[in-house]
Structure 1
Amino acid sequence: MDAEGGNGKEEARKTGLGGLPLLGGSHGSVRSVGSDLQLRQMLDSLKSLKTPAVINYGASWCSVCSQILPPFCRFSNEFKNFTFIYTDIDGCPETTQNIRYTPTFHFYRDGERVDEMLGAGEERLHDRLWLHS
């Protein structure tokens, strides 16, 4: 419970993914992963689903992550064949220990990581999604 009697994690869930506020309050079809266990399970499920996916590794303290998250959510509605996943690196310290830059985007096809994009850029992200769709 926080100082005002509410649950801080619950409030973060309502305001945005991983505590990041989203413009318009919409998450599109982005799945939020908040723990190492959830991220490992999500990565395992990508292998069995064989669908294209993109994981956005961000951080609540990263201003660039905050800027790219709304377009990422919008793109989840445009590229419906993709599975869109957001994870805050601070919530998954074991599974994200090799992430050295935020945001980092990992692209998956047939359960295997096929590409990585470091940094933001709405047009760059859109082009990568188009390339992998």
Structure 2
Amino acid sequence: MEGFVSGSEEKPKQGLEGTGLNLPVNRHGNLKSASSDQNLKEILQDIKSSKSPAVINYGASWCHICSQILPAFCRMSNEFPKLSFVYADIDECPEITQHIRYTPTLQFFLDGERVDEMLGAGEERLRDRLWLHS
């Protein structure tokens, strides 16, 4: 995976390999990608037990709008280091994401509970919600 790196050859701490997109490097280690139902289940359990703020971006590789917002989602993980950012492809996690009816869907968690949901993309809307929940 190649990222947008300003002035160095820094490697991402964690990233979103396999998306096929040129995504910004995550500098804080607060960005994860769910690779399976089991992996997403573990991530959701971590969110609930840690009680730290988190956002999950449910998307799909075939979704044009998802691929438009994903670079901004990754970039914003650097702007909000106290938030955990998770990308879950609905095709890679079909059992756990069967309730997702629209992509992208972003769900926000605080104290282990889902507190907000945003359907669709929009960089300004996303930044506002991240600010609100950070």
TM-score over 0.5 for the pair: yes
Quote the sequence identity (%).
63
Which residue matches 2:37? 36
| Structure 1 residues 16 and 50: alpha-carbon distance in aligned structure 2, compared to 1, 3 A threshold | closer
Q: Which runs of 5+ in 2 are unaligned?
A: 1-14
| DSSP 3-state at the match of 1:19 | coil
Letter in 1 for 2:91: D
The 1:18/1:86 distance shift into structure 2, 3 A limit, reads farther
Corresponding residue of 1:11: none
Question: Hey, what's the Cα distance between the residues in 1 that align with 2:41 and 2:89?
Answer: 14
TM-score between both structures, scaled by the size of structure 2: 0.82
Q: How does 1:87-126 map to 2 (within 5 A)?
A: 87-126=88-127
1:58 matched residue in structure 2: 59
Q: Which protein has the larger Cα radius of gyration, Structure 1 or Structure 2?
A: 1
Could you say what the CA RMSD is over the residues aligned between the two structures, in angstroms?
Answer: 1.6
1:46 match: 47
- Take 2:22 and 2:38, find their aligned partners in 1: how far apart are those partners? 25
Which has more helix, going by share of residues? 1
Count of residues in Structure 1 that have an aligned counterpart in Structure 2: 118
| Residues 31 and 77 in structure 2, CA contact (< 8 A), matched pair in contact too | yes
* Aligned partner letter, 1:89: I
Deviates further, 26-35 or 106-115:
26-35
Q: Could you list the runs of 4 or more consecutive aligned residues of structure 1 that deviate by over 4 angstroms after TM superposition?
A: 15-18
2:20 and 2:103 mapped to 1: Cα distance? 14
- With structure 1 as the length reference, what TM-score do the two structures score? 0.83
CA displacement, residues 71-108 of structure 1 (integer Å, 9 cap, x when unaligned)? 00011000011000001000000000010000000000
Structure 1 unaligned blocks of 5 or more: 1-14
Residues 42, 16 of structure 1: CA spacing in aligned structure 2 closer, same or farther, 3 A cutoff?
closer
In 2, are the aligned partners of 1:36 and 1:95 still within 8 Å (CA)? yes
